[in-house]
């Protein structure tokens, strides 16, 4: 169940609220991008969210009654190939968090999206000489068909948890076992 802070719901129903979004992307090698949709930089929890980071569009998934793989799309103007550099260094799987806040309040936020990057691309508009970095984040249902290969042996399990002995009796070349089922 979603727990939207009371300050957010109260402000959203008032006539003069100014909602804004903040975006966190934690690329590999400790490159953290923090952007805001506000026209000025804002400090939240000791972190500065930049207003001139090229944030042009948030496109949340469309509401449907079918369980599908809609994506959350974020578009950023790539002024000097910064995002292209991140994309080239394997951006897939990068954690992304989008939060909603109300102008004047930097303590209460509602998480709009939290997930990982599923796809990236660069769109070029030659008529306006603009490059747009497009980030596609999967919905929670995007991973339903994804497979994750994992060895089931003691050595692999100890890499995950050194105290877990659940795979210690699994043998690589065990013999076939026949189990009789039913009445004799």
Taking only the tens place, the pLDDT of each residue in 133-152 is 888 887 665 556 656 666 77
Quick one: what percent of the chain has pLDDT higher than 70?
A: 78
Question: Could you tell me if residue 176 is inside a domain?
Answer: no
Question: Does residue 62 register a pLDDT over 80?
Answer: no
pLDDT at 91: 83
Question: Does residue 83 register a pLDDT over 60?
Answer: yes
Residue 79 pLDDT grade (very low, low, confident, very high; cuts 50, 70, 90): confident
- Closest by alpha carbon to 54, among 80, 86, 28, 89? 80
pLDDT at 162: 84
Tally of domains within the chain: 1
How much is the average pLDDT of 100-106? 83
Question: Could you tell me if residue 161 is inside a domain?
Answer: no
Question: Could you tell me if residue 121 is inside a domain?
Answer: yes
pLDDT at 64: 54
pLDDT at 66: 55
Question: Could you tell me if residue 182 is inside a domain?
Answer: no
Question: Could you tell me if residue 167 is inside a domain?
Answer: no
Q: Which domain holds residue 42?
A: 6-147
Question: Could you tell me if residue 52 is inside a domain?
Answer: yes
Question: Could you tell me if residue 172 is inside a domain?
Answer: no
Per the prediction, the chain carries an average pLDDT of: 78
pTM over 0.75: no
Indicate which CATH number applies to the domain containing 25.
2.30.110
Helical segments of the chain, H only: 6-13, 82-88, 154-160
How much is the average pLDDT of 13-18? 73
Question: Could you tell me if residue 175 is inside a domain?
Answer: no
pLDDT at 139: 64
The sign of the dihedral angle between the CA atoms of 150, 153, 156, 160 is positive
39-46 long-range CB contacts below 8 Å, 24 or more apart?
42/106, 43/106, 44/101, 44/106, 44/109, 45/106
pLDDT at 48: 92
């Amino acid at each position: 169940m979603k727990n939207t802070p009371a300050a957010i719901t109260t402000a959203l129903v008032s006539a003069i609220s100014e909602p804004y979004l903040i975006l966190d992307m934690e690329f590999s090698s400790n490159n953290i991008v923090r952007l805001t949709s506000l026209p000025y930089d804002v400090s939240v929890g000791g972190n500065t969210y930049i207003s001139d980071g090229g944030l042009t569009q948030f496109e949340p998934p469309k509401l449907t009654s079918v369980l599908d793989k809609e994506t959350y799309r974020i578009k950023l103007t790539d002024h000097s190939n910064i995002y292209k550099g991140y994309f080239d260094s394997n951006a897939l799987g990068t954690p992304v968090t989008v939060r909603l806040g109300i102008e004047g309040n930097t303590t209460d936020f509602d998480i709009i999206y939290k997930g990982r990057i599923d796809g990236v691309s660069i769109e070029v508009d030659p008529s306006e000489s603009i490059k747009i970095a497009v980030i596609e984040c999967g919905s929670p249902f995007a991973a339903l068909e994804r497979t994750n290969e994992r060895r089931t042996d003691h050595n692999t399990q100890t890499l995950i948890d050194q105290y877990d002995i659940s795979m210690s009796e699994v043998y690589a070349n065990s013999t076939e076992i026949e189990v009789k089922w039913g009445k004799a």
